[in-house]
Structure 1
Amino acid sequence: MELTQNNYYAHETDYHYLSFSLYKDFMKCEAAALAKLKEDWQPTSNPTPLLVGNYVHSTFESEQAHEKWLNRSELGDKTNRELMMTKPTKKDPDGHLRAEFKLADEMIKTLKDDDLFNFVYQPGDGEKEVIVTGKMDGIQWKGKIDSLNLERGYFVDLKTVDDIHKKHWIADESRWGNFIESRGYVMQMAIYKELIKQTFGVDCQPYMFAVSKQTPPDKMAFDFQGDAIFQMEEAIQQIKENQGNIIEVMTGEEKPKYCGKCEYCRSTKKLNGFIHATEIDFD
């Protein structure tokens, strides 16, 4: 199945290509991921953080892409431009830009004013939102690169975060870590690096810029050298060990496992017995 900018995020393509986000969903809870994939269930979430992130990303893609995003309807009947505005009132009949998007403008400005960001992310010989595909042990994968510079041999991912220095609990390892560790971004960079190499035959170095949703916004630039090199290798190996089971669940060969704690599991939970009061699981 050919991937395009129009169908990349469609659930139909997810049955042909695994992706970082789909992999993460299945590793959290197979039952919830499958229900979401089949469009039988959608998680309850605040759409504003996603809109803010897309607003920032589209700004740095191109003026045309940003304008197209503003006029697109991602959530319901209203355009993204309309969702960014407050509800009209008698005193303010046209509404005004919501506080979250005023802050997004500050985030954009702090990046635009930064020489390193402009040199790395914005060069004229780079491409934005590049679709890449490839296979890992025979299974198709897809990815979309925020900024790809094949001539200079690197790619860049842009992240919006609440606080770059905030600590996050990593349940699988029972420890505190940073946002890159907790969100699995080392694995994401490893996937993109592999797919770029398969698509274009170029071994590219990954970089990341993060900008925070604070006033004033914070920003940092990250490479994936040192220990991250070995972590990326381990991430690819982990994917190869787990992806077969994900495909079997997606195709109905295996029944999905329920984590028992997520939103989907709570909403479908049926009591089937008692456990000892001293044996409650906790994170």
Structure 2
Amino acid sequence: MKLTQDNYYSHDTDFKYMSVSIFKDFMKCEAATLAMLKEDWEPNRDNTALLVGNYLHSNFESPEAHEKFLSDNKKFLYKYGNPEKGIKSQYKQADSMISVLDHDEAFRNVYEPGQKEVIVTGEIEGFAWKGKIDSLVLDQNYFCDLKTTADIHKGIYDPEIRRKVPFVKAYGYYMQMAVYQELIKQQFGVECQPFIFAVSKQDPPDKMAIDFNSVDDGYELDDALEFIKDNQERVWDVMNGEVKPKRCGKCEYCRMTNVIDNFTHASEIEVD
């Protein structure tokens, strides 16, 4: 199946190509993710954060892309879904975030020259993967990803290591950068350096240019790719119906479909 801008995010292509976002969802709960992909269940979630991110991305993609985004999402972006009533406060804040980046020389010089929303595909140990690069500058061997976050410096608790970590690690961005780097290399034959431009949702917004050049970053990128190699076969088996998906037992989908089939010892109740 050939990937295009129109079908990239469709569930049909998700069954042909793995993506970092879907893989991370499977790591949280296999049962919920499979139900979502099969369109048997739709998460009940606030899409404001996603829309704010898309608002920024479309703005820096092209004027045409931004106008199309505004037109396609009127009911979410504007008061009462009417542009004449004005844009909602969340997206006024997004305009502030855009302005902060627009007036930053480093962002203009590094992010803006790249080719935007480039679809890349390849294989990781025989399994098909896809990615979409926010800004790709092949002739200078780098690519950029634009990220929004509540607070760039706020630590996020990681239960596995029992301490707070930066948002880049907490949200799986090492994995994303490692996969994109690999797919770009396969498709174009170029080893590209990853960068993230992060902008916060604070008032006024903060901003940061992030590279992955330290020794520790190199280990994190390698570990992320190894984690995919160790777990992707099971994910594909679940998607293809060859093994039964595991339930996390705690997410929205698991709560909704929970059936009592046994007693749990009071002393063995799991807690976060």
Same-fold call, TM > 0.5? Answer: yes
Shorter-chain TM band: over 0.9
Q: Following the alignment from structure 1 to structure 2, what is the Cα–Cα distance between the partners of residues 228 and 62?
A: 32
Partner of 1:3 in structure 2? 3
The residue number in structure 2 matching 1:111 is: 101
What is the deviation of 1:278? 2.1
CA distance in 1, matches of 2:182, 2:259: 42
- Which of the residues 265, 270, 273 maps onto 2:254? 265
From 96, 100, 103, the counterpart of 2:90: 100
Note the alpha carbon deviations across 1:3-23, whole angstroms, 9 max, x for none: 000000000001110000110
- In the other structure, the counterpart of 2:29 is 29
Give the CA RMSD over aligned residues.
1.4
| Map of 1:60 onto structure 2 | 60
Q: Give the letter aligned to residue 264 of structure 1.
A: Y
1:119-146 CA-partner distances (Å, limit 9, x unpaired): 11012xx200000000011100000000
CA-to-aligned-CA distance 1:230-251 (integer Å, 9 cap, x gap) = 1111111111110000111011
Q: Is 1:166 the equivalent of 2:163?
A: no
Structure 1, unaligned stretches of length 5 or more? 73-79
* Whole-Å separation in 1 of the counterparts to 2:58 and 2:225: 29
- Cα 1:3–1:93 shift into 2, 3 Å: closer
Q: Secondary structure at the match of 2:199?
A: strand
Residue 176 in structure 1 maps to residue 160 in structure 2: no
SS of 1:87's partner is helix
Question: Aligned partners of 2:48, 2:137: CA distance in 1, in Å?
Answer: 30
In 1, Cα distance between equivalents of 2:75 and 2:45: 19
Residue number among 181, 198, 204 corresponding to 1:193 in the alignment:
181
Count of matched residue positions in the alignment of Structure 1 and Structure 2: 271
SS in 2 for 1:68: helix
Report the residue type matching 1:254 in the other structure. Answer: V
Show structure 2 runs of 5+ residues with no match: none
Runs of 4+ off more than 3 Å: none
Structure 1: how far apart are the matches of 2:132 and 2:83? Answer: 39
Residue 243 (str. 1) matches residue 232 (str. 2): yes
Separation in structure 1 between the aligned mates of residue 45 and residue 139 of structure 2, nearest angstrom: 40
When the two structures are superposed, what TM-score results if normalisation uses the length of structure 1?
Answer: 0.93
Q: Distance in 2 between matches of 1:145 and 1:172?
A: 30
CA distance in 2, matches of 1:82, 1:261: 32
Deviation at 1:171, TM superposition (A): 2.3
Question: Counterparts of 2:80 and 2:67 in 1: how far apart (Å)?
Answer: 21
More helix by share: 2
TM-score by length of 2: 0.97
User: Hey, what's the Cα distance between the residues in 2 that align with 1:224 and 1:2?
Assistant: 31
Instruction: Flag the 1:13–1:279 CA change in 2: closer, same or farther, 3 A.
Output: same
Once residues 69 and 201 of structure 1 are traced to their aligned partners in structure 2, the CA distance between those partners, rounded to angstroms, is 33
Query: Which one-letter code corresponds to 1:235 in the other structure?
Result: A
State the shift of 1:42 in Å.
1.1
The 5 Å alignment of 1:76-95 reads 80-87=73-80, 94-95=84-85
Measured after TM superposition, the shift of residue 271 of structure 1 is 1.2
SS of structure 2 residue aligned to 1:208: strand
1:173 positional shift = 2.6
- CA 93–204 in structure 1, closer or farther in 2 if over 3 Å, else same: closer
> How many Å apart are 1:66 and its aligned residue?
0.9
| Superposed CA offset, 1:8-61 (max 9, x none) | 000000111000011001111100010000000111111111111101110001
Q: Residue 93 of structure 1: CA displacement?
A: 9.9
Cα distance in 2, alignment partners of residues 197 and 214 from structure 1: 36
- 2:143, 2:192 within 8 Å by CA — same for their partners in 1? yes
